[in-house]
Structure 1
């Protein structure tokens, strides 16, 4: 059996309001991602050190056919120059270009798409293979804490979380606290209710340094690969 390093810290925590990026709590999925580029001195989201690891983790999961495309409807989608250039190559871009706005954060010029995303049709992305980097990371989300990502509690994330629970218990020998599991279950089951009521969506904080060993676990064949259609 492959050995995995035990980091001796719980990778998932349900954040206290004082730990959150700002006073608006979890209102939006993408909180100042351009700040992240500034911290890492990168100009492209794809160049962030954890991007490829997240992509490999997500390669083991798919959105269920019943996915309501919440990720495309609730928050601004920030883009860098590479994202915009990729979109420009799609036939859909010409009719949607006016929806893309310029923005500036930390003295960096970037772009954003305001929700709902104009490239969304019948709850499916019409430019899926050319979608921006932050879309490719979902349900992982950037916040302005340099050592963590947020996990949005959608159905795909339920499968990821289920596998992480298994990994934490079987490999790290460090089960995730029951309070964290209950918090995720509650957040997952109440997404529609909270959105309809205009309430924030609680998300889980994931330590970035824990993503690489989790990715290795998924690729080792030891995982049962949680079904994203089944809630934790």
Structure 2
């Protein structure tokens, strides 16, 4: 699905500068091979015998122009951004970054086309307001609402996008 989109040129790389990037050992090894670095100075946590490695923000692989320098070898969490799976609700959430807003607008248009009902303008306005909150680094306590998609909606939307190619 994300092959239909790319981060805008004025992206702030908030995903790489504001939150931990978690990766599994296989992804860490891919980074090691791709960068030819012996990455040893990385934090990790263990749960049920599984180790998760953590790159603290800002990501060490983010260039000064806010572009990923290890794009070919980036972990799955980076490949799937602005999507994240929310296990409690079994839903995908979409972060309200600029890319996420574009995806959500298309998703709402897709749902509108499917149901023959207009896209509620309040949803678009809310989405844009959430995006402004997302980038507001002066408001650390802001409660951001994420657009949610069920697994079946995500699959349908993905098929819809593929048909547009």
Shared fold per TM-score greater than 0.5: yes
For residues 50 and 87 of structure 2, the distance between their equivalents in structure 1, rounded to whole angstroms, comes to 16
Q: 1:92 to 1:188 in 2, by over 3 A?
A: farther
Q: How does 1:161-176 map to 2 (within 5 A)?
A: 161-175=104-118
Q: 1:202 to 1:146 in 2, by over 3 A?
A: closer
1:112 counterpart = 2:69: no
Q: Deviations over 1:121-167 (max 9, x none)?
A: 21111101100000000000133325201100111112111211211
Q: 1:173 to 1:125 in 2, by over 3 A?
A: same
What is the number of equivalent residue pairs in this alignment? 163
Tell me what 1:206 maps to: 149
Q: TM-score, normalised by structure 1?
A: 0.64
TM-align CA RMSD: 2.1
Q: TM-score, normalised by structure 2?
A: 0.87
- Whether the aligned pair in 1 keeps the contact of 2:104 and 2:147 (CA below 8 Å) is no
For residues 71 and 124 of structure 1, the distance between their equivalents in structure 2, rounded to whole angstroms, comes to 11
Q: Which runs of 5+ in 2 are unaligned?
A: none
2:128 maps to which of 181, 185, 188 = 185
- Whether the aligned pair in 2 keeps the contact of 1:92 and 1:119 (CA below 8 Å) is no
For residues 87 and 160 of structure 1, the distance between their equivalents in structure 2, rounded to whole angstroms, comes to 28
Q: 1:100 to 1:146 in 2, by over 3 A?
A: farther
- Whether the aligned pair in 2 keeps the contact of 1:165 and 1:175 (CA below 8 Å) is no
Q: Which runs of 5+ in 1 are unaligned?
A: 1-56, 223-232
Q: Deviations over 1:74-109 (max 9, x none)?
A: 111111122111101123634xx2442121234422
2:17 maps to which of 73, 78, 84 = 73
1:84 maps to which of 14, 17, 28 = 28
Q: Deviations over 1:43-96 (max 9, x none)?
A: xxxxxxxxxxxxxx10000111111110001111111122111101123634xx
Higher relative contact order by CA 8 Å / sep ≥ 6: 1 or 2? Answer: 1
Tell me what 1:63 maps to: 7
- Whether the aligned pair in 1 keeps the contact of 2:105 and 2:124 (CA below 8 Å) is no
- Whether the aligned pair in 2 keeps the contact of 1:119 and 1:127 (CA below 8 Å) is yes
Q: Tell me the secondary structure at the aligned position of residue 22 of structure 2.
A: strand
For residues 4 and 140 of structure 2, the distance between their equivalents in structure 1, rounded to whole angstroms, comes to 32
